[in-house]
Chain A
Amino acid sequence: MQGSETVHPLPTNQPATLTDCAGPGHSSVRMSSLRYSQAVTAVVSMPCAAGATVGAQAVIPTFDAVYAAHAAWVWQALRRHGVQESAVDDATQDVFVVIHRQLPKFESRSRIETWIYGIVIRVARDHRRRHARKGHGDPLDESIASTAPSPLESAARAEAAALFVLLLETLDENKRDVFVMSELEGMSVPEMAEVLGVNPNTLYSRVRAARAEFEEAVQAWQAAHPTQEAP
């Protein structure tokens, strides 16, 4: 599974004349990753892209730099938060349209990933609700459709992944969000509180409830589907 957690390294073809923005006293744009936790821990010195604003307190990267660094995990986070495959192009665009509009006002008081994640959450909720009103199918339908025969191991992993998505669907919106953020994105409760603007104590309770509900779904599935393994 490790090999599948693709980390998109920063491009290495930046012009050599660009100034390195990730020095002391400067905020830095971190390496893009498909996990939020990796994105915020794998700090990489990212050169300022052309046009970056270098102020006394903060560095505002260009839109292209932000897109290059964060598009992959934004896409994945949107899907994890329930945006349909057919809508993820539009949802990703929506996120970056907001970023494009608000980037000049970004004050670097929080990590850029945290700021972006807050946008992701809002856009995902909006898309989910629009989709629900249209009465479309579950997110699972389009993406977990591995029909081609494959080596047994990868097929088994795909089955497990598909089951995970099914059980995730049983959580309500709030619990799903915190479950995804804690279990898939590796975010701490304080980070979630910053993204969601919710009291941390509330989130501790919500995470506990989400985990308990997910466990309940797992146990229900186990009870309904005993293994076929030999005793």
Chain B
Amino acid sequence: MNETTLSPAARALVHAGRPLYAPTAADTARVHAKLAAKLALPVTTVLAAKAAAAGIAGKLAVVAVIVVVGVGGAGVLSSRAPSTARPRTQTARIDAPPGPRPTATLRPVPSVPLVMVPPARPSVPRAEPEPPQPSPAMAPAEVPRSVSLHALEALEEGAPMPFAATPVAPPPPAVEPPSDEESAPTTELDAIGIHEDSPGLVPSAPLPPIPVVPRTPRAWTLFGEQQFLQAARIDMATGHPDRALLLLDEQAARFPHGVLRVARHAVRTLVLCMVGRTPEARIEAAAVLRREPVGPHADMVRGSCAGPTID
């Protein structure tokens, strides 16, 4: 097992990813309540009691699970704290925002904030550190962080992130500061260079202002790759394959060697199938299978219009 060890940078990433996805006591209690109903388990409140004994439930605002098993079946009454009351003692546990999820009537608005600035563009001036909990509607000015894997290696030892305290020099005075419109994109589509008046990308309703949460542009470029994909998926799912293809083209142009290129080929396969461009879909599907002959992307393209002819 140790003959091939990960590099320090990769180990640091693994270390950072390890705490992800830990459930809360409310999560496990909720599932247990559902199981109790499904399996007609005996009346029990033991899990809630156990969670309390473990000191977990004490951090919840309200967790009450009442399981009632009737003679003819089982019923479940469950009340739990709203998602905002989820315990946040695990620093790396990342919860989805409590807002509504995208629906078919909305333009794709990626949930992960995105800032992508062309490399040649000077950095946005650093603002004062934001207060701990500013209102999202009043998104603070960017606090650039330099996230590098070298810096991430410090996570291995639990050391403070060196880049967290690294001062970032203000932009050179000789450089003309970008205009307000350039330096402060108000929507994520603005941030990725796609404007609302772009052909085929006009939203059906005005977009609410979306604060751009501070991110280091280069460090988040990979997220940009992901966001294009996600937006294309939503367009595909909502019956807008042309817009999806535009987004995929743009993603390919921006990230020709991106790590998500297989996913891009897979999504493009499905979109091309939607619009009846089967020969092109086969080419895309073949690109997927060359890189990943098995796996979810391979399954995806095998189940598409290109599937019968690509194996």
Contact = CB atoms under 8 A, between A and B. Distances in A.
Interface of A: 1-6, 8-13, 34-35, 63-64, 67-68, 71-72, 75-76, 79-80, 82, 85, 88-89, 92-93, 96-97, 100, 128-129, 131-133, 135-138, 140-170, 172-174, 176, 182-184, 188-189, 204, 207-208, 211-212, 214-215, 217-218, 220-222, 224-230
Nearest to A176: B295
Interface of B: 1, 3-7, 9-10, 12-23, 27-28, 30-32, 34-35, 38-39, 41, 44, 46-47, 49-50, 53-54, 56, 89-97, 110-113, 129-130, 132-134, 136, 139-140, 143-152, 155, 158, 160-161, 163-166, 168-169, 213-216, 218-223, 226, 229-230, 233-234, 236-237, 255, 257-260, 262-263, 270, 292-300, 303
A138 B263 CA distance: 9
A137 B230 contact: yes
A3 to B, nearest CB: 7
Given A170-B260, A224-B258, 19 more contacts: A1-B18, A4-B93, A11-B46, A13-B49, A34-B19, A71-B23, A138-B263, A149-B133, A149-B134, A156-B147, A159-B219, A163-B13, A164-B17, A166-B226, A172-B297, A215-B6, A218-B13, A222-B9, A230-B169
Contact of A89 (B31, B91, B226, B236): B31
B47 A67 contact: yes
A100 B39 contact: yes
Given A93-B38, A137-B230, A172-B295, A11 B50 contact: yes
A144, A157, A165: which has the most chain B beta carbons within 10 Å? A157
Given A11-B49, A153-B164, A80 B213 contact: no
B94 to A, nearest CB: 4
B112 A145 contact: yes
A147 B146 contact: no
What is the predominant secondary structure among interface residues of chain B facing chain A?
A: loop
A225 B168 CA distance: 17
B233 A229 contact: no
Nearest to B93: A4
A4 B92 contact: yes
What is the predominant secondary structure among interface residues of chain A facing chain B?
A: helix
Nearest to A188: B1
A115 to B, nearest CB: 18
Given A153-B164, A218-B13, A229-B146, A161 B19 contact: yes
12 contacts: A1-B18, A3-B91, A6-B22, A64-B46, A67-B32, A68-B47, A128-B296, A138-B263, A153-B161, A163-B13, A164-B16, A227-B151
Given A149-B213, A220-B259, A6 B90 contact: yes
Contacts of B110: 141
Contacts of B168: 228
Contacts of B258: 224
A214 B10 CA distance: 8
Contacts of A148: 97, 133, 136, 213
B6 A214 contact: yes
A71, A215, A217: which has the most chain B beta carbons within 10 Å? A71
B262 A140 contact: no
A173 B53 contact: no
Nearest to A209: B4
Nearest 10 interchain pairs by C-beta: A164-B17, A227-B148, A79-B21, A160-B16, A172-B295, A11-B50, A4-B19, A132-B296, A145-B111, A4-B90
Contacts of A72: 22-23, 28
Contacts of B214: 149
Contacts of B255: 224
A149 B128 CA distance: 13
A188 B227 CA distance: 36
B253 to A, nearest CB: 14
A164 B145 contact: no
A211 B21 contact: no
